[in-house]
Amino acid sequence: MQNHLLSELRYILLLTLVLLSNVGLAQGIAVQGKITNGNGTSLPGVTVLLKGTSIAAPTDIDGNYSINVPDRNGTLVFSYVGYQTQELPINNRTTINVTLQDDAKALKEVVVVGYGTQKRERVTTAVETIDSKDFVKGAVNDAAQLLRGKVAGLNIITSDANPTSTSQINLRGITTLLGSTAPLVLIDGVPGTLTTVAPEDIESISVLKDGSAAAIYGTRGTNGVILITTKQVNGETPPTIDINTYFTTQVITNKLAFMNAAEYRQLVEQGKPGAIDYGYDTNWLDEVLQTPLSQVYNVSLKGGSRNTNYIANVNYRDTEGIIKRSNNQAFYPRLEVNHIMFDNKLKLSANIGGYQQKYFAGSDGGSYRGDVYRNGLTYNPTDQPRDENGNWVERPEKTDYMNPVALLEETKGLNQNTNLRTYGTITYFPINDLTINLLASRDTYNSTRGYYETKNHYSTVHDARNGYASRGTTRSQEDLLELTVNYDKTFFNDHHITALGGYSWREYNYEDYWMQNWDFPTDDFSYNKMGAGLALKRGQAPESSYQSRNKLVGYFFRLNYSFKDKYLLMASIRHEGSSKFGAQHKWGDFPAVSAGWNIKNEPFLENNELISALKLRSGFGVTGTEPSDPYMSLNRLNFDTYTLIDGQWIQVINPSTNANPDLRWERKEEFNIGIDYGFLDDRISGSIDLYKRTTKDLLMEYPVPTPPYLYNTITANAASMENKGIEVQVNVVPVQTEDFQWNTSVNYSANRNKLLSLSDENFQLASGYFDRGETGEPIQQRTHRVQVGQPIGNFYGFKTVDIDENGYWIIEGKDGERKPIADQQADDKQIIGNGLPKSYLSWNNSIAYRGFDLNVTMRGAFGFQILNMPNMFYSAPVMLTRGNLLVSAYDNIYGKQPLADDQSLQYVSYYIEDGDYWKIDNVTLGYNFTLNNKYLKRLRLYASASNLVTFTGYSGIDPEVSINGLAPGIDNKNRYPATSSYTLGTFLTF
Amino acid sequence: MKPMKKYIIISVCLSVAFSACDNDLDEIVYSDVTEQTYTYTDAYKAMGIVYANMRSLYSHTNYYMAQETSADGIVMPANASGWDDGGIYKRMHLHTWNSENPQMSEMWNSLYRGVLNANRIIEQLESGKVPAPSGVSKEALIAEMKVARAFFYWLILDNFGNAPLVTTVTSELPENTPRAEIYRFVVDEITQALPNLNEITDQAMYGRFNKWGAKALLANVYLNAQVYTGEAKWEDGITQCNDIINSGKYSLDGNYRNVFETLNEDSPEVIFAVPFDENVATGFSSHMFSWHGALKDKVNMQATPWGSGSAMGVSQFIDTYDPADERLADTWLMGPQYAADGVTPLKGTYDQAGKPLVFTKDLPDGLYTGEAEGFRMNKFEVKEGARGSLSNDFPFFRYAQVLLMKAECLLRTGRSDEAAQLVSQVRQRAFKENPEKAIITGNELLENSSYNYGYVENYEIVDKGNTAAVPFGRLYDELGREFAWEAYRRRDMIRFGTYTTKSWLSHKPVGDYRALFPIPQQAINSNPKLVQTEGY
């Protein structure tokens, strides 16, 4: 396969070179010159066009051009992405030097929307496009982090610093319960994930926020759509090499104050139950943490002629995590070749990319084992990692208590993932205004996992595994075929229509194999010789394999109409079928309409100096969600259970789930109203959006009664939910001079979520609630309640109000009276907080002074609570029997006295804290050198700090905790710790 | 217009090309089979799931420990290693459980899962979708499944009282059926099935209901009939027991421990067992929730018991044993503990950290104990190298129980001497060294229980509570000792009137309604037709 791939690559390269050598030469009078930008930097790749003709030439690597024109009376048009286009008459000159001015506005002129682009002034939906120059600078792990704090309503949460984890994304609240809350991510039109492309290879990202924008994607459009456009090459471009490289290190944001050996010994002296002095002094956290160094290199080569151009991008990232051994190495190659032929009537584009990734597997199948950090906090500080004989010290009789250093050192693990994406488009322009586009893609993903715990690992000490190995592999393939026909025409000057029709076919196949084995004769095999273990032979170890397939087929149509660019209308519909639904419910229709009034274009505002942009827009759209798993509508049987029949254990038939033949599309209806504004030549600009999203036929794991159902849940469409919110974006350019420019923008979003119903004609949840979230052992309580009339994310537990003279909690009973916690009843529980932030605010600043630029991103989340799990477990004296505690464990509660030594752990409101935070999230200082070098065109150095300072009342390590799912806002005790990171980087252009 | 035509043609061609894309949205399964396409060939493969469902009753938060820890023999207190879990075990002891205690939903779900699978298979057998193997009649298999279903319904009516009686495959939400009506259904179903059941007692029917298993089940139902309906059925109980005794198919095992050993499937005493296997049929883990983690080294286990263990003997219950009763040591793990070599002392980890692990009888209370307090489970053999789940089969109905059921029916109908002979017969193997102690007289059986009931604080009984004599008290005590760890104690206490009246350890009477468990909140929440058990 590898060889085959290489030969394919070679072929494409060869083809590219052949085509490159075919650049033709024209005849006539030569006009030449040099093109620079405001900083005096020469600009390669600027298109110089003789107006009204197809005669054009690009600037070379030094910014020089030479164009042959028939005579000296024409006008030259100088255009370049990101700069204002200039037109200059030749006026008999033979040398014309030009300085192009930055044009922030020009960039915003066109936005990427579903299946195409649109002039911004014609957009009637809530769409935000962020260009690469506005991305978050500094170290990022995935595409989402580029947008952190940039788009109102798009909340990007990085809840830990695990180098393999990706951002959590939440757009306009939680609208779906069962499917993922992550938006649909399309990379150049092909579905992918936030890590499908290297962040440094991204040109721009569009976010389709409202339903009327997303509805054209029908399926999976409910959480919004993120359209990633990779770096592009347009028109004639001299060969250009861009290099972007940076180095990052991290420090833990906050070390929780656990007792050191001396503090712990005081407890031993006091005879506290469970305190044992082993006579040593170990800082366990330091034993498992490291000072990581990460490196990222991005090299791109682009170039080409008018007819054929290419871009090759190579990205290598070697990331280390703050926990020892945790890492992530990825290599992202991408090659794109475009070719225009048949008198510009046919455009071909071929793209091959993907990644090869590998990282240390600290747990079976995963990258990080949560017990490492937790035991780093809680292992007895008077104990030692190894005894005098060099053996690991383990205390296996203690619950959940493992030597964290041994956990790390006695594990061998490697996960290797390969993603290969090949796609191509054929675009045909049969007549003016008509575009037929065919997109075909294949995305294959392979993952091979190996994991081994040696005979010195806890698994042998505790469970006599005697060497434990696991292997797994996954393959998935997603095929996509899309045909779109687009017609774009202006009639009678004032009427502009764009009509789009399309067909989409997508098939997804997933295969997985997995086996474990233990009791190996030697550690030397690691996970490489699974057959050498004995547990599989004894019938003890599990093996599994799985395969599934699902399919989506859609037809869609969209019509845009604008009259004089003043009155704008859009209507679209997608008719889509998914194999995952019941036989009678496969197809759904997802319509959308939106309208806009571009008031600025009305005669009464046209010449208004104050108002530079003003548009009202409103839309309504329906999007759909399918469940993540297939086959939920089928009566599936398994043979996983054994019964003794006639002395033999035979595999018996067991229904797998409650099948739901009525499973159908979840539908989200969204109403959006917005205004785009600009004042003083857009020195002040922005938008305000109000939305209301109602999700109906909500797919969820619905609680059903046994009997008549065999199991307690069924995947069904029996709930509805509402989200209402506001998003405000304000961009201001307070200072704009030749040398000094300051751009500042503030965005704010607030969302209110409410569960409307948990019943339909087939299912009635009489209680109006169900509980989710787990405290884990030894509390074993649900943390959250999902309840009709209430928002998602409510913490539900006992409300502590006091502590009694013996050190036991006093809680508030259901009648409002105080009662000892020992007398708790289930119905004494109440809502004690909510883990979902009600509002987000961010403030971005970018300041440019001569060659310097300074970017400061600040952001915060407000109106939510966090369950401080480390506090709940380790500030309770009773846990001293299981290891070390926080220094605060013996502090007075409610200013009265500490908790009793035998007050059992309780999930109570005392551990729910306000989570509001404001972060100086990113500060980047860069300098662009003024160069006059033949080869080096651009040199930029920068230093950056991320997650720098957090202002919060929260006492845990970082208030930016997971907001996923139905149990948001838990600061898990096993969480991979959060970090601040410091980066040095450089950009070079040759 | 001419070029336009060309393009239309091209478009049409493209669309045709696209129609090659398969728009069929039927699901194709690979690693699953579906009811719609699967062809049943082996009836036992279909029926087996009903028996497999019985295994889930034995987790520490299901039927098994609900029967034991709500009664006076076993308690699961918290300790330094944990075992509070939001008070779910403590509330069983205190009779303050609520409808959200996981024991309720787990019991309910496990029992009804058995019922629902039986309903489906009975219909599949009747329709011929599941064919009977050659040489076996369809009626025999249906009868067997109906008895299995009656078994689940017996436990449902016993634990929950008025509960849904669902006998067909349906998705309609059911209402409660009165307890007495479920009782009649159970009796009728077993009675009607008996003629079609086989009498085979070898391994072919091991773990399945033959005629004798069905009769043992029916005898148990009759034994408790008065509790279920107000009408006693002592004579019917005797009839069923006599049938089993007279069949000569079963006998007392010469050695009490053999009935509970790892390979106990050969015991002549077992009438109906729930078979377990440490690898393929897991779920029996009494050692994991009773034993201290250090006991791993006692038998070189391949797992470490959870924390310092919890399920332990109530000291007042232990006191009812005659010191010469060999069942004391055969049932309870007591005193100092050693590694497999028999000499290396095992050590404590928490409040006894570093000190030798010595299990002591007396408990400060039933809520929180030291890590070495309380006698632990020793009834089921924990074999050398045991895993987290044991391979010992759980003897649900055994011959000793048939004898003692008959004894109780006789005793309650005035034939105490005849009863005493049966009780003495069972006691014999418990007093091999002191055979004279095995003999008990009819009059002795009628005496009050020797259980020293009373509320305990800090190791001492501080409030005797209800001191009324327990009728047939010595038989009651005998049942306790013989069947400790066998999930009988709650039912026996209810029948003898002590469950909701007496105080033991930290338990005080809460109310007679506690003789039934509440319907799990989960079921009530999702089925508005259900009415909660009275009192909850």
Q: Does A456 fall in a domain?
A: yes
Listed residue (A783, A829, A828, A840) closest to A959, CA to CA: A840
- Backbone φ and ψ for A540, nearest 5 degrees, come out as -95, -35
Task: Say which CATH number the domain at A113 has.
Answer: 2.170.130.10
Are A110 and A232 within one domain?
A: yes
Are A145 and A228 within one domain?
A: yes
pTM score: 0.87
Higher-pLDDT residue of B210, A28: B210
Are A93 and A144 within one domain?
A: no
> Which tens digit of pLDDT belongs to each residue from A717-748?
989 999 999 999 999 999 988 889 999 999 99
Contacts of A577 in chain B (CB under 8 A): 23, 25
Nearest CA in chain A to B353: A274
Nearest CA in chain A to B52: A643
Are A549 and A428 within one domain?
A: yes
pLDDT at A760: 83
Are A112 and A220 within one domain?
A: yes
Q: Is residue A14 pLDDT above 80, yes or no?
A: no
Are A62 and A203 within one domain?
A: no
Q: Is B526 within 8 Å of A705 when comparing Cβ atoms?
A: yes
Are A460 and A560 within one domain?
A: yes
Residues 21-50 of chain B whose Cβ lies under 8 A from any Cβ of chain A? 21-36, 38, 40, 44-49
Are A140 and A202 within one domain?
A: yes
> Which tens digit of pLDDT belongs to each residue from A939-960?
999 999 999 999 999 999 999 9
> Which tens digit of pLDDT belongs to each residue from A819-872?
999 888 878 999 999 999 999 999 999 999 988 999 999 999 999 999 999 999
Are A56 and A158 within one domain?
A: no
Contacts of B48 in chain A (CB under 8 A): 641-643, 645, 650, 652-653
Q: Does A810 fall in a domain?
A: no
pLDDT at A942: 94
Listed residue (B61, B214, B197) closest to B151, CA to CA: B214
Q: Does A429 fall in a domain?
A: yes
Q: Is A905 within 8 Å of B29 when comparing Cβ atoms?
A: no
| Minimum-distance CB partner of B44 among A274, A631, A650 | A650
Q: Which of A166-175, A907-916, B217-226 has the lowest mean pLDDT?
A: A166-175
Q: Is A642 within 8 Å of B280 when comparing Cβ atoms?
A: yes
Are A479 and A545 within one domain?
A: yes
Q: Is residue A245 pLDDT above 50, yes or no?
A: yes
Contacts of B28 in chain A (CB under 8 A): 549
pLDDT at A763: 84
Band of residue A108 on the pLDDT scale cut at 50, 70, 90: low
Token pair of A410, please? Answer: 């006695």
> Which tens digit of pLDDT belongs to each residue from B509-522?
999 999 999 999 88
Contacts of B22 in chain A (CB under 8 A): 551
End-to-end alpha-carbon separation of chain B, Å?
83
Q: How far is A468 from A987, CA to CA, in rounded Å?
A: 46
Q: Is residue A19 pLDDT above 80, yes or no?
A: no
Nearest CA in chain A to B88: A780
Q: Is A767 within 8 Å of B33 when comparing Cβ atoms?
A: no
pLDDT at B2: 47
Long-range contacts of A529-534 (CB under 8 A, 24+ apart): A530/A469, A530/A471, A533/A467, A533/A469
Burial label for A962, CB within 10 Å (0-12, 13-18, 19+), is middle
Q: What is the DSSP letter of A935?
A: S
Q: Is residue A20 pLDDT above 50, yes or no?
A: no
Distant-in-sequence, close-in-space partners of A653: CB < 8 Å, separation ≥ 6: A637, A638, A639, B38, B40, B45, B46, B48, B49
Top residue of A277, A343, A397 to mutate, by most chain B CBs within 10 Å, is A397
> Which tens digit of pLDDT belongs to each residue from A598-647?
999 999 998 898 999 999 999 999 988 888 889 999 999 999 999 999 99
Q: Does A769 fall in a domain?
A: no
CB neighbours of residue B308 within 10 Å: 32
Q: Can you tell me whether residue A439 is helix, strand or coil? A: strand
Strand partners, A329: A318, A358
Instruction: Measure in Å the smallest separation between the Cα of A79 and chain B Cα atoms.
Output: 33
**A584 CB near a chain B CB, below 8 Å?**
no
Domain boundary among A579, A606, A625: A579
Are A51 and A182 within one domain?
A: no
Q: Does A737 fall in a domain?
A: no
pLDDT at A78: 86
Contacts of A553 in chain B (CB under 8 A): 21, 23, 25
pLDDT at A129: 87
Task: Say which CATH number the domain at A33 has.
Answer: 2.60.40.4130
Specify which of A82-86, A193-197, B133-137, B444-448 reaches the highest per-range mean pLDDT. B444-448
Contacts of B132 in chain A (CB under 8 A): none
Q: Which of A131-145, A461-475, B35-49 has the lowest mean pLDDT?
A: A131-145
Q: Is residue A551 pLDDT above 90, yes or no?
A: yes
> Percent of chain A at pLDDT above 70?
95
Residues 172-201 of chain B whose Cβ lies under 8 A from any Cβ of chain A? 172-174
Higher-pLDDT residue of A695, A112: A695
As a whole number, mean pLDDT of residues A251-266 equals 95
Q: What is the DSSP letter of A183?
A: P
Contacts of A382 in chain B (CB under 8 A): none
User: Are A878 and A779 in contact, with CB atoms under 8 Å apart?
Assistant: no
Annotate A112-164 with three-state secondary structure. EECCEEEEHHHCCCCEEEEEHHHCCCCCCCCHHHHHCCCCCCEEEECCCCCCC
Token pair of A423, please? Answer: 């796609």
Q: Which of A270-274, A799-803, B134-138, B509-513 has the lowest mean pLDDT?
A: A270-274
Q: Does A492 fall in a domain?
A: yes
Task: Point out the residues of chain B with pLDDT beneath 70.
Answer: 1-21
| Minimum-distance CB partner of A396 among B113, B304, B530 | B304
DSSP for A728-788 reads EEEEEEEEE-SSEEEEEEEEEEEEEEEEEES--SS---TTSEEEEEE--TTT--EEEEEET
Give the count of Cβ contacts less than 8 A between chain A and B. Answer: 273
Q: Does A97 fall in a domain?
A: yes
pLDDT at A80: 77
| Minimum-distance CB partner of A274 among B86, B206, B351 | B351
| Minimum-distance CB partner of A395 among B80, B300, B349 | B349
Number of domains in chain A: 3
Which amino acid, residue B76? M
> Which tens digit of pLDDT belongs to each residue from B421-445?
999 999 999 999 999 999 999 999 9
Q: Does A112 fall in a domain?
A: yes
Dihedral sign for Cα atoms in the order B110, B115, B117, B118: positive
**B5 CB near a chain A CB, below 8 Å?**
no
Domain boundary among A53, A81, A102: A102
Q: Is B304 within 8 Å of A539 when comparing Cβ atoms?
A: no
Domain boundary among A521, A548, A579: A579
Range of the domain at A497: 413-579
Are A434 and A501 within one domain?
A: yes
pLDDT at A127: 86
User: Are A61 and A937 in contact, with CB atoms under 8 Å apart?
Assistant: yes
Q: Is residue A167 pLDDT above 80, yes or no?
A: yes
Q: Is B293 within 8 Å of A399 when comparing Cβ atoms?
A: yes
Contacts of B353 in chain A (CB under 8 A): 274, 276
- Mean pLDDT for all residues in chain A: 89
